[in-house]
Structures are given as C-alpha cells and as structure tokens.
Amino acid sequence: MSLKVAVIMGSSSDEDTMAPARATLEQFGVECHWEVMSAHRTPEKVRQFVSEARDAGFGAIICGAGMAAHLAGATAAQTTLPVIGVPLAGGALNGVDSLYSTVQMPKGIPVATVAINGAMNAALLAIQILAVTDAGLAERLAAHRAEMAGG
C-alpha cells in the first residue's frame, strides 16, 4: 500500500499559498488529502484527524499556518508521523513570526520546517520521507533531481 500525505492548513485563505504542495505531490503520484483545520478554531478536529492518520494510511503530514502558526506543533504533539511545517507570510512580521513559531518546538516534539511559503519544498521533503520505503518513488525523485540539474 502506498502511503498518503495530508496537507492541512489553518484557514481557507491559505489554500493558494499551499497549492504548490498539492501540485508537487500529484506530479509524483502521491495521494494527497487536502483539508482546512485550525489548531485554535477546530482543535478537536485536528486531534481526531491526526490521531487516526497513521491507521488511515498517511506517511507524513504537511501543515501550513500563519501568524501564531501552532498547527504544526499541535499536530506533532498528537502523532509520531513526520510533520512538516510551512510558515506562511502575513501579519505585521510577514511570516517571521510564523517561522519562529513553527521551528521553535520543545524538546521531544520535532517539526521539520521549510522556508516561509515553502509549500513545494514541504511536499518534496514528504516525498523523500516516503521514498525511504518506496523504490518507485525514489526513482521518480532521482529523475526529478537529474532534470533540475540539467535544466
């Protein structure tokens, strides 16, 4: 069974910024579950989804959130799956606050963090994680890298 990747974001207004994650996962043939849920407005929905994610066939979770950006941390606290945080630009600090909130997790609850608005890199990192146990995906990733080097 191929593992899926969940892409969740704190607000529907984040969908355009997170769209490169979905496009990249689809480009590599990785099934993507796309959903809006907030660490603050719908914490029970986050808890339920994340606590069931492994049994539902997910191999990684990408979280995009701005400002306080607690979604990735709240997600990581509920699962042992790899969580990749995408800090989103916005607010008075244009994403720096989100970057700090996402990257500064307490010891024992890691969140891999990509650049501000780095949804495409988050998807590529999720693909690399899944490729550890999926030889076909590893081959597609290697071909993609070779194409980038040649282009």
Taking residues 120-129, what's their average pLDDT?
98
CA–CA dist 16, 117 (Å, integer): 10
**pTM metric for this prediction:** 0.96
Domains of the chain: 4-150 (3.40.50.1970)
Q: Collect contacts of 48-57 with beta carbons under 8 A, ≥24 apart.
A: 49/6, 49/8, 50/75, 50/78, 50/79, 51/78, 51/79, 53/6, 53/79, 53/81, 54/79, 54/80, 54/81, 56/4, 57/1, 57/3, 57/4
Question: What is the residue type of 132?
Answer: V
User: pLDDT value at position 151?
Assistant: 64
User: pLDDT value at position 18?
Assistant: 98
Whose tokens are 């081959």? That residue is 139
Taking residues 90-118, what's their average pLDDT?
93
User: pLDDT value at position 68?
Assistant: 84
Residues in the chain: 151
Q: Is 104 within 8 Å of 97 (Cβ atoms)?
A: no
- pLDDT tens string 75-92: 999 999 999 999 999 888
Closest by CA to 63, choosing from 44, 35, 96, 91, is: 35
User: pLDDT value at position 36?
Assistant: 97
Mean pLDDT of the chain: 95
> How far does CA 103 lie from the centroid of its chain?
13
CA–CA dist 13, 11 (Å, integer): 5
For 128, counting Cβ atoms within 10 Å of its Cβ (0-12 exposed, 13-18 middle, 19+ buried), the class is middle
Please say if the pLDDT value at position 1 is more than 90. Answer: no
Taking residues 129-149, what's their average pLDDT?
96
**Lowest-confidence pick of 15-19, 28-32, 142-146, 147-151:** 147-151
- pLDDT tens string 19-78: 999 999 999 999 999 999 999 999 999 999 999 999 999 999 999 999 888 999 999 999
